[in-house]
Structure 1
Amino acid sequence: MTSTAIVPAVAGASGGSGDCPFLFTAATPVVAASDALTSVVRRFVDDLRRDTGLEPAPEPGAPAVRVRLGADGIETVGIAAGVRADGAAVDGPGDERHALSITADGIEVWGPTPEAVHRGLTTLRQLVATQLRGATAELAAARLVDGPRFAWRGLSLDVVRTFHDVDTVQRVIDMCALYKLNVLHLHLTDDQGWRIEVPARPALTEVGARGAGGDRPGGFYSLADMAGLDAYAAERFVTIVPEIDMPGHASAAIRSYPGLAPAGVVPSDVEGLAVAGGLLDPSRDDVWAFVEDVLDGVLPQFPRSAYVHLGGDEAFGMPSSAHIAFVEQAAALVRGRGKKVVGWQEAARAEVDAETVVQHWIDIPAAAAESLRGRVPNAFLDILIDNLRAAVDDVPRALARGARVLLSPSARLYLDRPHGDDSVDPAQNAVRARLGMPVYPPARLRDGVAWDVVADVAHIESDDQVAGVEAAVWCETVTSRSDLELLLLPRLPGAAERAWSARPTEWDEYRHRLAAQATLWEHRGWEWYQADSVAWPVLTP
């Protein structure tokens, strides 16, 4: 069946009419039925060239790929649950359901929106790339009908602990788009650095952007850089959501503007773990002038995002009342500027409304943190354990207030865990020994797909409670682009499968679909971890 090469798994597939395959070559025309799809077709042709080297140059009379707008036949797939980061209605402009028909005479791709057609053409990209032999891809006759389980399907990328340049972020956007993820959540600020230009606060980039984790170099995205990234993502139907983390994780901001430090704390105290240093005090007027300047400088750089992520996590050492006061006032400032709020799950300890998205990440029992004793300072460990105990009530509290939950359980969707599978490449096993947060148990590839978003997450009882699904990659151990890509691939497709596909994933079937993707990664020049649990194809340079 044609669909065995596709990740995420399609909702419905059946054999097409006739037994003869369609032969896709560089001479296959790709024809848009309306001007609204011209840019979508152009994107497909360019991506296919980068995936395979093929660049369709149509010959008269050749069988064609025809793309059109239409909703016929897609009703067998339900409307996506959750919310979209761009605010589009899932049953209107944000409808991503689509269909493909493959016969010996041609291919047709259709859906009710340009984005839906783009998703269908992404499936076709995978089929061509994985079936290509020489200069021809033989595609079996089939009819595919597909659509996502959840509307928000994302990746949170840490650009603070390791600064990733524009080209690297574009590569990550390409990976997201290939696996039908539609959100890139950029973690732009933290204790180790400030990565986005705010014109009214130049010291944030003059001072706060210096350095990163360890001895790695710093950097930041200029207004032009961010405009370019936002446009690049938009062409691929990916929405960039910015995160400005506060009131905790604010050491870089305080280094830039020492007057933001809490009373009695000097800037030299806000390094390292920042147990009580990297905090913004809600009782200080100059803190709120700073927050307003930041919001006014950052929000216009993300015109397509309906949301701003305010962090709200790990405000270690901050009184609960001060944390709640800060989150509530910051959220009010965001709403007053016409945006909605996302926060890590600790933000639910404040009064959240039904339009707020609460991002669940803590699935570590407080008792498990005891294993860290002796490895981290006891004062910090005690604060951490208190936070883990409080976290048990975060999701129920958010749900009781009508908020939806963005699911990022760390045990399943934190991609910075050490690899649990050996690599077939001995050199990668040497990298594996240092790559991934050592406080987390190693995770195997199958662990990323052998679970269910609702059934296996505490307190979640139905898709209706879920805003979406988002993986995360934190970069404390990442020293280069190569390291980053070795954590993302081949894990990211599994995260995308759980966000997109409603049906359970059988590991033995999935690993064959995953293996087929390696030829595409190789052609793209992406680094990937060659886990020995998958029978990867023999690839030639």
Structure 2
Amino acid sequence: MRYLRALGALLACAALSVSCTDARAGSGAGAPGAPAELSAYERIVPAPARTAPGGPGYRLTAATVIRTTAGSREARGVGELLAAALRPATGLPLRVSGTDAAGAAGGVRLRLDPAAGAYGEEGYRLQADGEGVTVSAYRPAGLFRGAQTLRQLVPAEGAPVVAGGSVSDTPRFAYRGAMVDIARHFFTVAQVKRYVDQLALYKVNVLHLHLTDDQGWRLAVDSWPRLAEYGGASEVGGGPGGHWTKEEYRDLVRYAGERYMEVVPEIDMPGHTNAALASYAELNCSGVAPARYTGIKVGFSSLCVGKERTYEFVADVLREVAALTPGRWLHIGGDEAHSTPHDQYASFMARAQAAVGDTGKKVMAWHQLAGAEPVPGAVLQWWGTDKTKAAEKEQVAAAVRKGAKLVVSPADRSYLDIKYDAATKPGLSWPGYVPVERAYDWDPGTHLPGVPESAVLGVEAPLWTEVIATPAELDLMAFPRVIGVAELGWSPAAALDWDAYRLRLAAQGPVLTKLGIGFYRSPDVPWL
């Protein structure tokens, strides 16, 4: 396995005409033995494709200017976000200038380079020496990712000196996601924005929002107003719930987009729909609305598959959500529809997928869609475990052979609401415990039998909120595991080595502390 990982990384780096020496360094003998011994470039998370430390460093001062490519609004935006992130850490003014970074000397230069096409949409090159720091990229997203690496090269404590050296970097997978469930417990836009900022540092590029479930409907829909007004006024445990207005949702989408993070909204169906059923009696086959639900059981609710009114509802909701969302996908759930007979489930999902297509978006759904008939181009999200039956895994592999793509989110590896160990509070443990090592020590490209890496779009870390009710609990359960999942999505396969990663993760301790993140201090990590 280690040979195959190394070979894959060599091929990836060869495409950039760079050496992969540093991508492999952490996986063999000779890796540093303690986090304090790591150089600044060895502490970067996710691990870059290539690093070459050396030479004089650059000290940020009160005179340092961040210069961006002239005439580029996107580059200027990246510069402003970089300055805003570094000012509190350094205490420096860090003025941003739209002068041409290509011709300017000194300072920090953020350059869009038409000749850097080999770095693709998100790759970048960073060079630091005694004169300054230059980040170059082909696209603005790559410039933003490089700026996050620069943030990590500025020490969390002490003098703001960027060590001399270079980074050449591109992601392994195009999809590197994190999901927040705001349906079981309601979270505000401001609270989710905070999570977006935390995720962006580690090059996460997809924010999946689970907006509806049995316990609450969290997004206003003009054509069906009671969904949010009534269905949103509950949550697990009987709290007041809440919902986002359309403008609040738009604001979050803009905010994430400025950080080059695509939003994937999820409207779960035909199950996980009690909040909708309670809001509108006509969506029930009986014509009688159930009570709102505040427990955590699953699989008991279903839209009425036989009613045409149901499909009017589906089309209306998806049309409004699509109009608010510039991203490529609409996620239509499709999991745990235990109260929907299989033949009805298949016919419902066919019509729901058609409704997605009518909006101009692409279908995304949990992997149970493989038991129906995924439309061409559909993305399945795998959430099974090591113990999932082989027949279910083969069903997903068969859908992939027919053209479906896969996002990998195994519940016993990447679910962030699962306890680290028996002592963890809060959290669930239905798939077992997920310590920090288990969340990291697996390979998305080879995880599911019969699914080649070429069919894997990437990886996601979902955070369900049946028992997660506050930002502090979110911090504790997400960090540091979400960082490991982010690395699985970004870094070359040859760099995925727990013994090396745990040292780099340990070095992130002061960074997380400075960001105010109350993370879980795993005893398996030698935290600084």
The within-5 A match list for 1:383-422 is 391-420=392-421
TM-score normalised over the length of structure 2: 0.86
2:344 aligned residue: 322
**Aligned partners of 1:207, 1:22: CA distance in 2, in Å?**
57
How big is the shift at 1:194? 0.3
Given that residues 100 and 145 in structure 1 are in contact (C-alpha distance below 8 angstroms), is that contact kept between their aligned partners in structure 2? yes
How big is the shift at 1:251? 0.4
1:380 aligned residue: none
How big is the shift at 1:521? 2.1
The change in CA–CA distance for 1:54 and 1:350 in structure 2 (over 3 A counts) is farther
How big is the shift at 1:436? 1.3
The change in CA–CA distance for 1:266 and 1:200 in structure 2 (over 3 A counts) is closer
The within-5 A match list for 1:110-509 is 110-130=136-156, 132-133=157-158, 136-263=159-286, 267-268=290-291, 272=295, 277-302=300-325, 304-363=326-385, 365=387, 391-420=392-421, 432=424, 434-461=425-452, 463-502=453-492, 503-509=494-500
1:5 aligned residue: 43
Given that residues 10 and 147 in structure 1 are in contact (C-alpha distance below 8 angstroms), is that contact kept between their aligned partners in structure 2? yes
SS at match of 2:420: coil
The change in CA–CA distance for 1:446 and 1:52 in structure 2 (over 3 A counts) is farther
Gaps of 5+ in 2: 1-38, 98-103
Given that residues 251 and 274 in structure 1 are in contact (C-alpha distance below 8 angstroms), is that contact kept between their aligned partners in structure 2? no
The change in CA–CA distance for 1:322 and 1:273 in structure 2 (over 3 A counts) is farther
Given that residues 184 and 240 in structure 1 are in contact (C-alpha distance below 8 angstroms), is that contact kept between their aligned partners in structure 2? yes
2:33 aligned residue: none
How big is the shift at 1:353? 2.9
SS at match of 1:244: strand
SS at match of 1:110: strand
How big is the shift at 1:522? 2.1
Gaps of 5+ in 1: 78-90, 367-387, 422-428
- Equivalent of residue 68 in structure 1, options 105, 111, 124: 111
2:4 aligned residue: none
1:385 aligned residue: none
The change in CA–CA distance for 1:258 and 1:390 in structure 2 (over 3 A counts) is farther
1:46 aligned residue: 84
1:340-394 CA-to-partner distances (Å, cap 9, x unmatched) read: 000000012222133110111112536xxxxxxxxxxxxxxxxxxxxx6763333
Given that residues 354 and 404 in structure 1 are in contact (C-alpha distance below 8 angstroms), is that contact kept between their aligned partners in structure 2? no
Q: Which amino acid aligns with 2:399?
A: A
How big is the shift at 1:276? 6.7
**Aligned partners of 1:54, 1:529: CA distance in 2, in Å?**
31
**Aligned partners of 2:128, 2:354: CA distance in 1, in Å?**
51
**Aligned partners of 1:50, 1:171: CA distance in 2, in Å?**
16
SS at match of 2:236: coil
Q: Which amino acid aligns with 2:108?
A: V
Given that residues 52 and 520 in structure 1 are in contact (C-alpha distance below 8 angstroms), is that contact kept between their aligned partners in structure 2? no
**Aligned partners of 2:205, 2:377: CA distance in 1, in Å?**
19
**Aligned partners of 1:474, 1:495: CA distance in 2, in Å?**
16
Given that residues 274 and 292 in structure 2 are in contact (C-alpha distance below 8 angstroms), is that contact kept between their aligned partners in structure 1? no
2:124 aligned residue: 98
How big is the shift at 1:205? 1.1
Q: Which amino acid aligns with 1:459?
A: G
SS at match of 2:127: strand
Is 2:68 aligned against 1:20? no
1:59-80 CA-to-partner distances (Å, cap 9, x unmatched) read: 9x994111211265774x6xxx
TM-score normalised over the length of structure 1: 0.84
Identical-residue share of aligned pairs (%): 36
**Aligned partners of 2:154, 2:92: CA distance in 1, in Å?**
10
1:277-333 CA-to-partner distances (Å, cap 9, x unmatched) read: 41012210111111122112211111x211100001110131111000011101001
1:389-412 CA-to-partner distances (Å, cap 9, x unmatched) read: 763333123212101111111111
Given that residues 10 and 146 in structure 1 are in contact (C-alpha distance below 8 angstroms), is that contact kept between their aligned partners in structure 2? yes
Given that residues 405 and 466 in structure 1 are in contact (C-alpha distance below 8 angstroms), is that contact kept between their aligned partners in structure 2? yes
Q: Which amino acid aligns with 1:448?
A: A
**Aligned partners of 2:147, 2:132: CA distance in 1, in Å?**
14
The change in CA–CA distance for 1:48 and 1:358 in structure 2 (over 3 A counts) is same
Given that residues 10 and 501 in structure 1 are in contact (C-alpha distance below 8 angstroms), is that contact kept between their aligned partners in structure 2? yes
Structure 1 stretches of at least 4 aligned residues deviating more than 6 Å after TM superposition:
273-276
**Aligned partners of 2:221, 2:302: CA distance in 1, in Å?**
20
**Aligned partners of 1:504, 1:153: CA distance in 2, in Å?**
17
SS at match of 1:107: strand
1:37-76 CA-to-partner distances (Å, cap 9, x unmatched) read: 11111111112235554442489x994111211265774x
Given that residues 198 and 294 in structure 1 are in contact (C-alpha distance below 8 angstroms), is that contact kept between their aligned partners in structure 2? yes
How big is the shift at 1:415? 1.1
**Aligned partners of 2:107, 2:369: CA distance in 1, in Å?**
52
1:226-270 CA-to-partner distances (Å, cap 9, x unmatched) read: 111111111111111100000010100000001211348751497
**Aligned partners of 1:531, 1:277: CA distance in 2, in Å?**
37
How big is the shift at 1:507? 2.2
TM-align CA RMSD: 2.3
SS at match of 1:267: coil
**Aligned partners of 2:514, 2:93: CA distance in 1, in Å?**
14
Given that residues 404 and 467 in structure 1 are in contact (C-alpha distance below 8 angstroms), is that contact kept between their aligned partners in structure 2? yes
